[in-house]
Amino acid sequence: MNEGNGDWLRVRGIGRERFAGYLADYLVTLGYAVRREDLPERNESRVTGQLDRPNPAVPGAAASVAFRFYPTSGGAAVVWEAPNAMPSPELSRMDRLVREIASHLERAISTESHATAKVIRPSTSKLPWSSAPANGGAGDELSPGHVSG
């Protein structure tokens, strides 16, 4: 499973199950009904969510979300699997939601691990609806005007 095909985020210092738990917990606070599966035979975890409670911060196209987590050397990676298309009118709201989720994960993981674990945005970070890397190919630095998520 370590293909590195479209990783959205990576983490060092914690495993895939724990990383999946952080994302699942945050999705609940956004109003999603979350389903989580740990698939040891495939060495991956999946988190899916269906918006259960209206939230103006969540664009309509993101009413259903899906993520796949797999282990990496020293940590884990997450691939954003759904939604895989984003209508232009909702793109800016989705970009903001992606940034908020990534920022929350960075803060929560750093705080709860006492800064021993760290979220990393791969230089090839991709979201399914974007053809360019999510951070403009700029390593761990955020590039203005790009999905930073």
Q: Where are the domains of the chain?
A: 7-120
Give the whole-number percent of the chain exceeding pLDDT 70: 83
Q: What is the CATH number of domain 7-120?
A: 3.30.310
pLDDT digits (tens, 9 = 90+) for 74-88: 899 999 999 988 888
Query: Between these two residues, 137 and 13, which has the higher pLDDT value?
Result: 13
pLDDT digits (tens, 9 = 90+) for 8-35: 888 988 888 889 999 999 999 999 999 9
Could you tell me the CA-to-CA distances from 67 to 19, 61, 72 in Å, in that order? 11, 15, 16
pLDDT digits (tens, 9 = 90+) for 45-70: 999 999 999 888 899 999 999 999 99
Query: What is the DSSP track for 101-147?
Result: HHHHHHHHHHHHTTTSSEEE--TT---TT-SS-TTTT-TTS--TTS-
